[in-house]
């Protein structure tokens, strides 16, 4: 016949082991994490409010603390004009006089860009659809002179209006700074466009550093 005391002790030990295993497996009570990586959302509580993430394979982003997009190219929205009183931009015939840009975080969406003639802000040259394909450091300024001199690279995938052939690739130092401004290059060879930063200065507006300001701005933004 079994000893009742031994049975009780064994039951208590078994209960304690079960509690310990469950606690170690599922509890992070001090930092408040609960994870499920099966494609469903999970919630984090980091002491400063609760937020939910979905890890279903489609990714997620958080805006910066100032409310700007997590990725600078997602700020490619609005209308821009050549930098007023900047002769290197205004006199370079390569530069469109006006840009109309539309982009979003919507899955599968394209960035839409319209380019207007250098000497006529109402004459549309082309309107094209682009997909962002990555970012590249500027070969002249990065990293010795600037760790933020980064070009966003877009590849044309759709022709909406006009002649998009000249705008196969667009390189943008996407909107940044205060006052807000951006830089733009376009062409059919990404490597050649990047290499222009190392061109010697000449009377043909090289290196190519066109600057664009908000469409309403009447004074320099750079």
Residue 28 has φ and ψ, to the nearest 5°, of -130, 60
8 Å CB contact between 131 and 155: yes
8 Å CB contact between 175 and 181: yes
Q: Which of 30-39, 168-177, 201-210 is predicted with the least confidence, judged by mean pLDDT? A: 30-39
Please write the tens of the pLDDT for every residue from 172-201: 999 988 999 999 999 999 999 999 999 999
For the entire predicted model, the pTM comes to: 0.71
Give how far Cα 115 sits from Cα of 49, 86, 97, 164, Å. 44, 19, 8, 9
Please write the tens of the pLDDT for every residue from 45-67: 444 443 333 333 444 454 555 55
Running DSSP on this structure, what letter comes out for residue 77?
-
């Amino acid at each position: 016949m079994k000893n009742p005391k031994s049975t009780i002790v064994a039951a208590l030990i078994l209960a304690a082991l079960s509690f310990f295993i469950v606690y170690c497996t599922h509890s992070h009570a001090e930092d408040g994490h609960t994870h499920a990586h099966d494609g469903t959302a999970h919630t984090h509580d980091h002491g400063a409010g609760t937020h939910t993430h979905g890890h279903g394979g489609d990714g997620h982003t958080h805006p910066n603390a100032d409310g700007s997009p997590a990725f600078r190219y997602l700020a490619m929205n609005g209308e821009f004009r050549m930098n007023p009183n900047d002769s290197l931009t205004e006199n370079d015939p390569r530069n469109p006089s006006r840009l109309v840009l539309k982009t979003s975080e919507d899955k599968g969406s394209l960035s839409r860009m319209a380019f207007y003639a250098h000497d006529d802000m109402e004459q549309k040259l082309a309107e094209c659809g682009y997909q962002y394909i990555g970012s590249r450091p500027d070969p002249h300024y990065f990293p010795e002179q600037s760790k933020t001199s980064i070009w966003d690279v877009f590849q044309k995938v759709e022709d909406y209006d006009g002649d998009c052939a000249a705008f196969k690739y667009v390189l943008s130092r996407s909107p940044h700074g205060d006052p807000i401004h951006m830089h733009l290059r376009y062409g059919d060879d990404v490597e050649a466009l990047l290499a222009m930063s190392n061109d010697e200065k000449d009377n043909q507006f090289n290196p190519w550093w066109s600057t664009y300001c908000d469409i309403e701005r009447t004074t320099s933004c750079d």
